Structure 1
């Protein structure tokens, strides 16, 4: 039986909010559990709604998307946050990924990409489109204002390197498990160990570490 993905949406523009909800209605696996006009409204109802995915606008009254992301991560480290915004400035992408967002979409994204982002973030923990990938890589190249807290003298095992490379290829835990003949739980355990060893909080940090250290190109 396919698991139901519970999602919440926070956006102060009612027309856009309703449009997204309508666009997602043809996905039976999705269930809307919370609709909010701003970050504070979202946070006040988060524990009761218990969403798996949050679609979050950045510019909102009372509490914006950046403040909301920070507060969500204090409360729940498992819920996936996909930012949907008009702001196409790369500095927002970098900052949001660093503080715990799992994806970043522009509001002109096609409904199919929003659906793909939800499913990918739910299954894989993150969703990187070309816009996000380019922003992350450009930041690494220019090395401006990027201060990842990487641990020094890291020694990764051959298996950890193998999993890290596959994570950078956007493979899910289930897909990785089939490729290297391990259980999904074991793969998740290796991913957790990588986060601890490298000293990052999420998959974006793993990818940045791998690129910076030329583990992947």
Structure 2
């Protein structure tokens, strides 16, 4: 059984101890690295490279936002799940655009943390109800801007109708396989559309693409 390798970066020792205890009870999870701040994580991560980093935001020496930037630039295959007390919509969307794969509040149930880890490993993104509502509030609070008829448009990108359809379903949380079954395309074709949308939006991963879509009124 291949284990999912995890790193936990948080400056509160008791929280790390509690999370380590919870994660240690899951047979296919392996906590390979703990760190009290971003710099400590980056200093050690090359020796014990995880699949997923559980990352706090407010830490001394190097905070979570700066750490996420370094991870995305130097370890693009590592999935980042933010685990924080910060619940501002602006922060959620900002970090998703930066390329984090999921955003959880520290009062989340242990089962949701496990679900998020598995989801980002399988599909690259975990969008829970909290994140979805943050995106919806961002979308509904933006002023309405007239869009050219018959196109899926903003000032920078133009998506085809099929790309629009795929992006909308991704934003609804559907996986590649679920999308392929819903619109009668092969998973490979759906993945091709996803990659083209990533390229057109200039985003780094699925979470960033979804955040970009909501921020720019694409859905």
Query: What is the TM-score with the length of structure 2 in the denominator?
Result: 0.83
Contact 1:124 1:171 in 2 (8 A): no
Q: 1:152 to 1:134 in 2, by over 3 A?
A: same
Contact 1:33 1:49 in 2 (8 A): yes
1: CA distance between counterparts of 2:85 and 2:211? Answer: 25
2: CA distance between counterparts of 1:18 and 1:5? Answer: 19
SS at match of 1:128: coil
SS at match of 1:31: strand
2: CA distance between counterparts of 1:215 and 1:138? Answer: 14
1: CA distance between counterparts of 2:188 and 2:46? Answer: 26
SS at match of 1:82: strand
**Residue 187 (structure 1) aligns with:** 190
How many pairs are equivalent? 209
1: CA distance between counterparts of 2:60 and 2:203? Answer: 31
1: CA distance between counterparts of 2:124 and 2:89? Answer: 21
Map residues 35-114 of structure 1 onto 2, 5 A cutoff. 35-114=34-113
- Tell me the CA shift for residue 116 of structure 1: 0.8
SS at match of 1:12: coil
Residues 1:121 and 2:125 aligned together: no
**Residue 158 (structure 2) aligns with:** 154
Q: 1:155 to 1:98 in 2, by over 3 A?
A: closer
Q: 1:111 to 1:34 in 2, by over 3 A?
A: same
Report the aligned-residue RMSD.
Answer: 2.5
1: CA distance between counterparts of 2:76 and 2:36? Answer: 22
Q: Which runs of 5+ in 2 are unaligned?
A: 144-153
**Residue 147 (structure 1) aligns with:** none
SS at match of 1:34: strand
1: CA distance between counterparts of 2:5 and 2:192? Answer: 25
Task: Decide which moves more: 166-175 or 183-192.
Answer: 183-192
Q: 1:5 to 1:180 in 2, by over 3 A?
A: farther
Task: Decide which moves more: 61-70 or 134-143.
Answer: 134-143
2: CA distance between counterparts of 1:214 and 1:67? Answer: 27
1: CA distance between counterparts of 2:208 and 2:92? Answer: 13
Q: 1:137 to 1:202 in 2, by over 3 A?
A: farther
**Residue 151 (structure 2) aligns with:** none
- Tell me the CA shift for residue 46 of structure 1: 1.7
Contact 1:123 1:172 in 2 (8 A): no
Contact 2:5 2:30 in 1 (8 A): yes
Residues 1:170 and 2:169 aligned together: no
**Residue 3 (structure 2) aligns with:** 4
**Residue 21 (structure 2) aligns with:** 22
Task: Decide which moves more: 68-77 or 92-101.
Answer: 92-101
Q: 1:185 to 1:105 in 2, by over 3 A?
A: same
